[in-house]
């Protein structure tokens, strides 16, 4: 079946370093969403990308959707301890169904 793969599984950075997580789908996606889950919390929606090649920014976060609409990335510039958590991408893999990637656990050392 359709899959949404995400790498890396873990990322440890020093505060101030950049961070990137990548998401790949086996099929073309109509859109891709990104969520953040703080330790002990629930996933919270960050953004949705719809257009081929789309780039969106939220302060230090930059989201990209690939030209073929099969891959996406989230880049954080100059990480802070508040960025700690698990970042998930998610794509609609059939009517009404949203499948999540495996997530990237980000640890930021002060």
Binding residues for another protein (CB under 8 A) = 1, 30-31, 33, 35, 42-45, 48, 86, 88, 90, 92, 95-103, 105
- Smallest gap from Cβ 82 to another protein, in A, equals 19
CA angle 64, 70, 75 (to 5 degrees): 25
- Which of 74, 90 has the CB closer to another protein? 90
Return the bridge partners of 100, or none.
Answer: 90
- Smallest gap from Cβ 26 to another protein, in A, equals 13
- Smallest gap from Cβ 42 to another protein, in A, equals 4
- Which of 43, 66 has the CB closer to another protein? 43
Structure-block tokens of residue 88 = 């998930």
CA angle 6, 11, 17 (to 5 degrees): 120
- Which of 16, 41 has the CB closer to another protein? 41
Q: What is the dihedral of CA 70, 83, 75, 11, to 10 degrees?
A: -80
């Amino acid at each position: 079946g359709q899959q949404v793969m995400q790498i890396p599984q873990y990322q440890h950075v020093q505060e101030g370093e950049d961070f990137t997580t990548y998401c790949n789908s086996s099929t073309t996606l109509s859109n891709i969403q990104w969520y953040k889950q703080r330790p002990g919390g629930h996933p919270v929606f960050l953004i949705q990308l719809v257009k081929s090649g789309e780039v969106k920014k939220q302060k230090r976060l930059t989201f990209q959707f690939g030209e073929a609409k099969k891959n996406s990335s989230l880049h954080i510039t100059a990480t802070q301890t508040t960025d700690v958590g698990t970042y998930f991408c998610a794509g609609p893999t059939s009517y009404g169904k949203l499948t999540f990637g495996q997530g990237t656990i980000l640890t930021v050392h002060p």
